[in-house]
């Protein structure tokens, strides 16, 4: 029980800055309260904690009623979260009124649970099987039914709202397009649906074990199995809350830089001067401990420096011919532009190896075309590298200064 409690505690710490910044938002407060109560439920239901609480209070099985009250508060918070989410499209006053009704209702449930515990008789301390051991005890059985039903209703309601939220996000992204944050939020909601379904399973299995005692059967094994569902649910819910928080950061700071760095490898190999050539500007050296973003920035800078060294060998005629060939093959304009520049840079690298520069007029037009394309396409270098990877090598291509030009 301490492992899921610690996991939820980590989530709570991660979300603490957002709670401080958005304390006035009912949605932010409700989400953090939900995580806190879930964490508290696992912590106080652990057998060592049960023993300590019972000894400190001096009341046998006091920990049981404490955990049940925490679960009732958790159920209330789930429903309040639903109402606050719906409040985005409905009147805030109406939302606050409904939230107050849910709080009042669960306060009554909590009072009823405590009253049943006081009226009932539970003299034997039970750390793990309190529910099934006292399932047929007067007043205690009613207490068990109240808190289990509250848990089941909350889990079902949370599952429904998370699923509806995913549908709403899917509909919105179809209309307006999706962002990285939207994709990770939807992934987190899918995981939360699975986690709350596991919570629902926990409540149903627990209720079946208790109901079996009412009919004279012994299904206590279900009570033992329910604990595993509870732990699994905690891990899944923790992951569901973490995905929207760390997912966009992982994509923007790690996945995209690494992917772009690897995609530029072909272009770097083509434009990089051979080891036997005259020394040029020193390439930026990236230390091994630098982050992916720094590696990417240095590679792009080195590529730009190498392209600048290739300028005297760049033929605009070769670029235009390759561009028109790509268009005739049905390539989209961005891909055709990249194909033309890829052919030009490849031929320029071959011309540099032969020390055969083109005319100044030809190289100036090529440089102007490259600058114009860089302004038009922010991912031009990646497109050129991809075109180099896909095109066959044509060694010894001669500059085509007299080729007919088309606007690119």
Beta carbons of 18 and 41 less than 8 angstroms apart: no
pLDDT at residue 170, as a whole number:
87
DSSP per residue, 288-309 = TTS-HHHHHHHHHHHHHHHHHH
State the Cα–Cα distance between residues 396 and 249, nearest whole angstrom: 46
In this structure, which topology does domain 2-256 adopt according to CATH? Answer: Rhopdopsin 7-helix transmembrane proteins (1.20.1070)
Burial class (CB in 10 A: 0-12, 13-18, 19+), 285: exposed
The domains of the chain are located at: 2-256, 269-390
Whose tokens are 């899917």? That residue is 170
Beta carbons of 157 and 79 less than 8 angstroms apart: yes
Q: In Å, how far are 17, 65, 110, 168, 222 from 61, measured between CA atoms? A: 37, 7, 16, 45, 21
pLDDT at residue 169, as a whole number:
85
Beta carbons of 392 and 342 less than 8 angstroms apart: no
Whose tokens are 């790690």? That residue is 254
Q: What is the pLDDT along the chain (408 residues), one digit of tens a residue?
A: 788 788 888 888 887 887 888 888 877 888 888 888 888 988 998 889 999 999 999 999 999 999 889 988 888 888 787 777 666 545 577 778 888 888 998 899 899 999 999 999 988 888 888 889 999 999 999 999 988 998 898 889 889 888 988 888 888 888 887 788 888 989 999 998 999 899 899 899 999 999 999 998 989 888 888 877 777 887 788 788 778 878 998 999 999 999 999 999 999 999 998 866 655 556 778 888 889 999 999 999 999 999 999 999 999 999 999 999 999 999 999 999 999 999 999 999 999 988 888 888 888 999 999 999 999 999 999 999 999 998 775 544 444 444 444 333
Q: Which pTM value belongs to this model? A: 0.74
State the Cα–Cα distance between residues 214 and 210, nearest whole angstrom: 7
Q: Provide CB contacts within 8 A for 253, sequence distance 6+.
A: 291, 292, 293
pLDDT at residue 179, as a whole number:
80
Sign of the torsion angle spanned by Cα atoms 38, 43, 46, 47: negative
Q: Quick one: which of 333, 342, 263, 339 has its CA closest to 310?
A: 342
H-state helical runs in 251-332: 256-263, 265-271, 292-310, 316-328
pLDDT at residue 393, as a whole number:
59
Q: Provide CB contacts within 8 A for 326, sequence distance 6+.
A: 335, 336, 339, 340
pLDDT at residue 404, as a whole number:
41
CB atoms within 10 A of CB 225: 16
């Amino acid at each position: 029980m301490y492992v899921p409690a610690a996991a939820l505690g980590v989530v709570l710490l991660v979300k603490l800055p957002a709670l401080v910044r958005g304390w006035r938002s009912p949605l932010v407060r409700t989400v953090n309260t939900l995580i806190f109560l879930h964490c508290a439920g696992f912590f106080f239901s652990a057998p060592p904690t049960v023993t300590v609480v019972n000894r400190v209070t001096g009341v046998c099985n006091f920990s049981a009623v404490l955990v049940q009250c925490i679960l009732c508060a958790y159920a209330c918070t789930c429903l309040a979260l639903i109402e606050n989410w719906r409040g985005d499209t409905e009147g805030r006053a109406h939302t606050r009124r409904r939230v107050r009704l849910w709080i009042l209702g669960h306060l009554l449930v909590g009072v009823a649970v405590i009253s049943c515990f006081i009226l009932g008789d539970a003299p034997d301390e039970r750390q793990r099987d309190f529910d099934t051991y006292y399932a047929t005890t007067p007043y205690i059985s009613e207490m068990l039914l109240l808190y289990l039903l509250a848990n089941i209703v909350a889990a079902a309601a949370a599952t429904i709202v998370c699923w509806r939220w995913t549908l709403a996000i899917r509909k919105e992204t179809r209309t307006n397009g999706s962002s990285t944050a939207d994709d990770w939020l939807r992934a987190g909601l899918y995981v939360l649906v699975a986690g709350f379904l596991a919570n629902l399973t926990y409540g149903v299995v627990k209720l079946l074990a208790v109901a079996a005692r009412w009919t004279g059967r012994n299904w206590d094994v279900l009570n033992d199995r329910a604990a595993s569902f509870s732990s699994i649910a905690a891990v899944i819910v923790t992951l569901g809350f973490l995905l929207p928080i760390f997912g966009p950061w992982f994509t923007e700071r790690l996945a995209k830089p690494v992917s772009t760095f690897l995609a530029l490898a072909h272009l770097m190999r083509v434009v990089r001067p051979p080891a036997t050539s005259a020394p040029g500007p020193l390439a930026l050296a990236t230390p091994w401990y630098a982050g992916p973003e720094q590696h990417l920035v240095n590679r792009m800078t080195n590529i730009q420096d190498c392209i600048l060294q290739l300028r005297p060998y760049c033929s605009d005629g070769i670029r235009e011919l390759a561009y028109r060939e790509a268009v005739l093959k049905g390539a989209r304009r961005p891909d055709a532009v990249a194909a033309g520049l890829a052919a030009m840079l490849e031929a320029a690298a071959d011309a540099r190896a032969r020390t055969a520069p083109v005319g100044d007029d030809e190289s100036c037009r090529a440089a102007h075309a490259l600058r114009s394309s860089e302004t038009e396409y922010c991912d031009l270098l990646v497109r050129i590298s991809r075109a180099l990877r896909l095109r066959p090598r044509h060694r010894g291509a001669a500059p085509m200064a007299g080729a007919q030009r088309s606007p690119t």
